[in-house]
Amino acid sequence: MTTNLQTPIDYLKGVGPNRADLLRKELGIHTYQDLINLFPNRYLDRTQYFKINGLQSNNAEVQVVGKVIKFEEIAQKRGKRLVATFQDETGTMELVWFRGQKWIRDNLKLQTPYVIFGKTNSYNGRFSMPHPEMELQEEHEASLRSAMQPIYPSTEKLNNKGITNRMVNKIMQQLFVETKGRFIETLSPEILESEKLISKSEALFNIHFPKNQELLARAQYRLKFEELFYIQLQLILKNLIHKSKIKGLPFDKVGEYFNSFYKEHLPFELTNAQKRVLKEIRQDLGSKAQMNRLLQGDVGSGKTIVAFMAMLIALDSGFQACLIAPTEILSVQHYNGLLEWCNKLNISIKILTGSSKTSSRREIHESLENGELQILIGTHAVLEDKVKFKNLGLAIIDEQHRFGVEQRSKLWRKGPQSSPQSTENEASQNIIPPHILVMTATPIPRTLAMSVYGDLDISVIDELPPGRQAIKTVHRYDNNRLNVFGFIRDEIEKGRQIYIVYPLIQENETMDYKDLMDGYESVSRDFPQPKYQISIVHGKMKAADKDYEMQRFIKGETQIMVATTVIEVGVNVPNASVMIIESAERFGLSQLHQLRGRVGRGAEQSYCILMTSRKLSINSKTRLATMTRTNDGFDIAEVDLKLRGPGDIMGKQQSGVLNLRIADLIKDGDILKTARYCAKQLLDSDPTLSRPNNNAILFTYQQMSKYKNIWNYIS
């Protein structure tokens, strides 16, 4: 019979109420379960014993066996220090204590073999060890403690209150004594065998008390696999339940709109990646389950045309479609891009944003409700309660990380009712949600996509359309500015346009504003009117002024746009061929990549110039080197993940998913892929986990779902 791991930590021998309170507050340890899942950060190799005459003055931690032969107290400026002479068969050294002397003198036995452990100091060829860890040799040999000594996570407060690493090690030993080291298995015999994993009990013993490096490595692999396996199982099951429980609108045919666009109006040959993604979307739309798909594609990879063709499938089945974007600029750009195609196909399309006039809003509301309006493009304004569709079949969200869960759920509720006669209360229950396609131009590293968006189906457009030339990216220091300005003049002579972007970091808006204005003045001096026209755009301007300046640049009335990062998303000027990023060291990698994507949209060769000072941190150098080396957004996202870690990249709302106990998404990508593959295979063969062999997995999954904490019940 195993001890109940939900027992409060107070009841573990050697803990008691005061220590339990500290462990709860400092490390979140409430139960035996939490303690067993407090995994060591690192290990000290205690396999080696040194002789005193073989010690080196290298400040390393060493272990020596010997006896204390005498004590003496030595006066010093403040108080006294206690010094013991410690001897083995090869010589003597000193052990020194600056506090706790009385306890040491009363409890240490003279002429008795001890194992001491700590860092040594050397003075005039004589070694000393301050505040050594000491253990009777007899107890050391009998103890559970392994040769590889675990070092646990801790805090200053715990150390000050006497809950040292040694104390944690001791209560961990007690836990193994009380549980007899037996823990419930959480994986099936098939998975243990196919992945050559050690048992749960072996893994937990060897993570806390490893006898050697090999056993430690096997224990770590088993526990990392298990953690990632259950995350993937939860996500894949969520997707399967979604597909089985949430009905989708039946888009059972590809008809006139789609076919005539494909045959007569397609502006260019689709890439293989675009064709593959369209096929995945078509399968979803015809599957009788609600589509919930994430479409990833680098800047300029042609996501919009894929989204439009998905809309045409909705229209062919008699439904409406909408596309919402986070900013007015971006939605206007989408609207202008789709308008031309819609006119050719005789499709009604309108745009709704915060600045839409009341009269046009009224018209849009009416034509949406009576079904005359087929496609609506807009911003958050589309989510307002008074915006009602007759039969919304497909909702597309661009740059979805800018929209919260609450906003996305508002879109769900705009779907058609399954039975038109129902009362208002029944109606809310009977809404069939529209199919959802989420788009992002921010490439997400594969491991992160699997973990954070693992419950969505993911499509990737990983090819650029033909005829696009790779943007040439160079790094220049501030003292090269004259050459850079010369290059700009040459490009303007060729009829091209230029962006010059300054950083904007909220904490110091005044300084950033000054940077921008100084920059604007120096650019104006070098590019004087009337020969050159310059637009300026920044966050402090009124929306109308900003829009006016943007429009001048888009129409080609100005050759240079000086701006802050407000142009990061969504300005499409094919004639702009140079992006200059000032103080590039102050930008993150994904932001640099997004900014670079503002050029390279036409057929001409485009350039991105990263300007920096000479003073650069190691991380800044890595970011700049990555940008000049590659244009591949997924490659850049992987480097960004290594530099910043998962929590930073996903933002606050997502980072909770990744509070991993032992696995590391950056280092353990291969284990993650294996774990996802195993979870998928398992659910393919046993979707309800009802086979007897999968009892352990079903039980663990149910407990996890109950407690909403992956590790809470994994033992």
| Residues 428 and 322 occupy one common structural domain | yes
Of 208-217, 355-364, 537-546, 653-662, the poorest mean pLDDT is in 653-662
Q: Is residue 654 part of a domain?
A: no
- Single-letter amino acid code for the residue at 241: I
| Residues 374 and 484 occupy one common structural domain | no
pLDDT of 657 > 50? The answer is no
Q: What is the pLDDT of residues 263-289, one digit of tens each?
A: 999 888 899 999 999 999 999 998 888
In the block, residue with structure tokens 């050559």: 196
| Residues 434 and 506 occupy one common structural domain | no
Instruction: Determine what percent of the chain is predicted with pLDDT higher than 90.
Output: 46
Note whether 585 and 504 are within 8 A (CB).
no
| Residues 439 and 562 occupy one common structural domain | no
> Could you tell me the pTM of the whole model?
0.69
Instruction: Determine what percent of the chain is predicted with pLDDT higher than 70.
Output: 90
Domain boundary among 144, 164, 194: 144
Q: What is the pLDDT of residues 408-466, one digit of tens each?
A: 678 778 887 765 444 444 344 567 889 999 898 777 777 777 777 777 788 888 887 77
Q: Is residue 100 part of a domain?
A: yes
What is the domain range of residue 384?
A: 256-461
Cα torsion 673, 679, 685, 691 to 10°: value is 150
| Helix residue spans in 506-604 (DSSP H) | 509-526, 543-554, 589-596
In the block, residue with structure tokens 């079949």: 393
Q: Is residue 641 part of a domain?
A: no
User: How many C-alpha atoms does 273 have within 13 Å on its Cβ side?
Assistant: 17
Note whether 302 and 461 are within 8 A (CB).
yes
Nearest to 144 by CA among 228, 209, 47: 209
| Residues 428 and 550 occupy one common structural domain | no
Determine the pLDDT at residue 418.
Answer: 63
| Residues 442 and 522 occupy one common structural domain | no
Q: Whole-angstrom distance between the N-terminal and C-terminal Cα of the chain?
A: 14
Q: Is residue 176 part of a domain?
A: no
Nearest to 647 by CA among 624, 633, 665: 665
Q: Which helix (H) or strand (E) holds 609?
A: strand 607-612
Q: What is the pLDDT of residues 493-519, one digit of tens each?
A: 999 999 999 886 444 555 555 677 888
Q: What is the pLDDT of residues 156-185, one digit of tens each?
A: 888 888 899 989 999 999 999 999 988 999
| Residues 491 and 401 occupy one common structural domain | no
Q: What are the two backbone dihedrals, phi and then psi, of residue 107, each rounded to the nearest 5 degrees? A: -105, -25
Q: Is residue 241 part of a domain?
A: no
d(CA 112, CA 555): 90
| Residues 457 and 478 occupy one common structural domain | no
Contacts of 603 (CB under 8 A, 6+ apart): 467, 469
In the block, residue with structure tokens 């001791």: 170
| Residues 482 and 588 occupy one common structural domain | yes
| Residues 517 and 392 occupy one common structural domain | no
